[in-house]
Amino acid sequence: MLEYNVSKGILDSYHTKLKSALDSDAIIVGSGPSGLVAGYFLAKAGKKVVMFERELAPGGGIWGGGMFFNDVMVQEEAATILSEIGVELPEVKDNFYTIDSVYLASTLISKAVEAGVTLLNMISIEDIIFAKDESIGGVVLNWAPVHKEHMHVDPLMAISRCVLDATGHPSEIVNVLTRKNEITLNTKTGKVMGERSLKCKKAELATAENTCEIYPRLFVSGMAANGVAGAYRMGPVFGGMIRSGKKVAEQMLQCIDTEAPIYD
Ligand code: 48F
């Protein structure tokens, strides 16, 4: 009977979680630093937040530090945000905190989940759903191994008041939106401008600046925001990602408090 109860317990619990995730205030695609910080602040504000992550381990690019040396750098400007979340900071040196990347990833994940984010890993978002007025009304999901194995399996769908593309360098959600539909983005050219090469200082400032509602009810944060806006990359410096996560949460809160999308 123990065998039966273990299996039944997991199935009951997961299906309750997944069914509830089908209708939320905010869907966050990607659980890197910007997505986790955004999720934390949205959930803290009392919103129903669902985060989809295609990998087994949430945390995105935090774990690997720089070239597997598992430390990351965070500037003073982002330190207050980390303290607010409950991340303990080491001593500051030359305006930088060098933070153990395993500690940062695991703490941001646990703080986001404790705040109330429903984090569903091993699920990949492959497309978006349009609401009646052509704003974004949700996402199309499938098990990540279905994509990895190129299986022909139809997906399921989840609706939401707003969606965040926090997929990092590939800006996957914005790219699928523009590839499949003739739409205009909130960028200088109206299109995806593509990521530029590495320029730390400029890229760090640009990450927060480029964080925005890129299309009605679709937001971008972190490297996805820079990739869409034609900005530089920056390597293992994470202050911009953290500031971007907090900024996008504030923008999404305003969107959530407007009228809900209407569906056909
Ligand atoms: O890349 P990632 O860590 O995003 P970020 O918040 O942070 C970037 C930094 O890690 C680093 C950097 C800092 O200086 O440049 O690269 O912009 O995390 C993105 C997460 O999204 C997941 C992916 O597995 C990763 O964990 N992801 C990407 N596409 C999808 C996805 C998708 N279609 N569905 C679900 N998850």
Taken in order of first residue, the domains within the chain and their CATH numbers are 19-61+102-120+128-188+206-217+235-244 (3.50.50.60)
Three-state DSSP class for residue 28: strand
Residue 165's pLDDT band, with cuts at 50, 70 and 90, is very high
Q: How far away, in angstroms, is 144 Cα from ligand 1 center?
A: 15
Answer whether 247's CB lies under 8 Å from 42's CB. Answer: no
Residue 58's pLDDT band, with cuts at 50, 70 and 90, is very high
Longest CA pairwise span in the chain (Å): 62
Question: What is the pLDDT, as a whole number, of residue 36?
Answer: 99
As a whole number of Å, the end-to-end CA separation of the chain is 46
| CB of 210 sitting under 6 A from ligand 1 | no
**Which pLDDT tens digit goes with each residue over 61-102?**
999 999 999 999 999 989 999 999 999 999 999 999 999 999
Which residue lies with its CA nearest to atom 22 of ligand 1?
30
| CB of 167 sitting under 6 A from ligand 1 | yes
Rounded to whole angstroms, the Cα distance separating 148 from 128 reads 19
Looking at the chain, the whole-number percentage of residues with pLDDT higher than 90 is 98
Residue 215's pLDDT band, with cuts at 50, 70 and 90, is very high
Residue 116's pLDDT band, with cuts at 50, 70 and 90, is very high
Question: What is the pLDDT, as a whole number, of residue 157?
Answer: 98
Helix (H) or strand (E) holding 218: strand 218-220
| CB of 238 sitting under 6 A from ligand 1 | yes
Helix then strand count (H, E) for the chain reads 9, 12
Question: What is the pLDDT, as a whole number, of residue 12?
Answer: 98
Rounded to whole angstroms, the Cα distance separating 97 from 38 reads 21
Q: Hey, which of 223, 226, 233, 238 would you mutate to test ligand 1's pocket, going by the most ligand atoms within 8 Å of its Cβ?
A: 223
| CB of 54 sitting under 6 A from ligand 1 | yes
Cβ contacts of residue 124 below 8 Å, gap of 6+?
Answer: 52, 54, 141, 142, 143, 144, 146, 147
Nearest-atom number in ligand 1 for the CA of 245 is: 6
Question: What is the pLDDT, as a whole number, of residue 232?
Answer: 97
Question: What is the pLDDT, as a whole number, of residue 220?
Answer: 98
Question: What is the pLDDT, as a whole number, of residue 169?
Answer: 98
Residue 142's pLDDT band, with cuts at 50, 70 and 90, is very high
Question: What is the pLDDT, as a whole number, of residue 52?
Answer: 98
| CB of 51 sitting under 6 A from ligand 1 | no
pTM (2 d.p.):
0.98
